[in-house]
Structure 1
């Protein structure tokens, strides 16, 4: 009977030891890297959602402006082309760890933002367009989306800062060199302040 008890006691040692090791590792921050990575990816998804929202609004805005200012062909064309380029850039989880892909993505989105700003500014020269309820609604939605983009981008930048710092500082740097060798630093936005500005149109 004593041998049986000893065997049972021995059988409990392995899972007990494994549980203690797991708790110890958790306390040492072994889960911080994957946790912060998932958070950053979630923030990135929100950035993409807001950029997609802006992209979806553009066709209706272009058609509305065209109805009042068809002669502004260059501006209309530039928006259409910029939107096509922006949507052509493939974005997925790998984009945020690939410097070149990320650079292409933000450059395309920045160009679309500038073209969109020029399109909205066209309304100043066309009183009927400025007073169009459809245009006013779309312009308001565009500005609201630009604000959401700015917030989503800010949250993403903060999340990436936490994740990248975790990879470079102790104890994260230890876990990165052992359990998480495949984890790479994420890219973040480096666009100018001018590119971050929300297109604004004052209606007098």
Structure 2
């Protein structure tokens, strides 16, 4: 009788282990999906920033129309725009702090110049209200909103991926399949820690 209860105990333990492994394996299958969602979200962030860079040419034309004497601002806008356009897309940037920071530094430099444009436009309310100028400013505002939304979607997706690759037991399974699972950067704040 003792052998029979002992066998039942081993069967129960075996079933529990199999269920635990099945659960962990099922959770691990979420890792590639989460990584794909985060990578797609990062691609959208890059795309929205690129679209803003192309829109900057219209902003430059608007500055020239409002105040042709703003040669320094136009030159800075053109320079920052070209830097953004030439910056290479890198799907692995969210995994590499230095590349992520370099990408954001390039984008932030253009953001500073675009902020100067908005300050300039406040000085010329009658010209700012003209349809071609107001249209460009409205498209710029829409572009900024799309960037904020893309960044927010990316942060959410990256946090989900990071939870899966840093929490037990999915961390163990991810480590078995891919030796180097690096969490993604989730902060666009240049002064904050990059990963969480």
TM superposition score category, shorter chain reference? 0.7 to 0.9
Which of 97, 119, 122 in structure 2 is aligned with 1:121?
119
Structure 1: tracts of 5 or more residues without a match: 1-19, 194-204
Q: Map of 1:4-23 to 2, 5 A cutoff?
A: none
Shift in Å at residue 143 of structure 1?
A: 0.5
Structure 2: tracts of 5 or more residues without a match: 1-17, 192-196
After superposing on structure 2, the runs of 4+ consecutive aligned residues of structure 1 that deviate more than 4 Å are none
Q: Map of 1:28-43 to 2, 5 A cutoff?
A: 28-43=26-41
Which of 159, 162, 172 in structure 2 is aligned with 1:161?
159
Partner-residue secondary structure (3-state), 2:27: coil
Partner-residue secondary structure (3-state), 1:30: helix
TM-score, normalisation: structure 1: 0.77
Q: C-alpha separation between the residues in 2 aligned to 1:29 and 1:73?
A: 57
> What does the per-residue CA deviation read over 1:177-204, in whole Å, with 9 as the maximum and x for residues that have no partner?
21122432212333269xxxxxxxxxxx
**Retained in 2: the 8 A contact 1:28–1:171?**
no
Q: Map of 1:85-96 to 2, 5 A cutoff?
A: 85-96=83-94
Q: C-alpha separation between the residues in 1 aligned to 2:129 and 2:28?
A: 58
Q: C-alpha separation between the residues in 2 aligned to 1:84 and 1:114?
A: 15
Shift in Å at residue 33 of structure 1?
A: 1.2
Which of 115, 140, 143 in structure 2 is aligned with 1:145?
143
Q: C-alpha separation between the residues in 2 aligned to 1:190 and 1:152?
A: 12
Q: Map of 1:1-204 to 2, 5 A cutoff?
A: 24=22, 28-191=26-189
Give the number of aligned pairs.
173
**Retained in 2: the 8 A contact 1:37–1:163?**
yes
> What does the per-residue CA deviation read over 1:43-66, in whole Å, with 9 as the maximum and x for residues that have no partner?
111111211221111101101220
> What does the per-residue CA deviation read over 1:94-133, in whole Å, with 9 as the maximum and x for residues that have no partner?
2121111100001111111111111122122234521221
Shift in Å at residue 32 of structure 1?
A: 1.5
Shift in Å at residue 151 of structure 1?
A: 1.1
> What does the per-residue CA deviation read over 1:24-52, in whole Å, with 9 as the maximum and x for residues that have no partner?
37753121111110010111111112112
RMSD, aligned CA: 2.3
Q: C-alpha separation between the residues in 2 aligned to 1:68 and 1:177?
A: 57
Q: C-alpha separation between the residues in 1 aligned to 2:90 and 2:165?
A: 21
**Retained in 1: the 8 A contact 2:76–2:113?**
yes
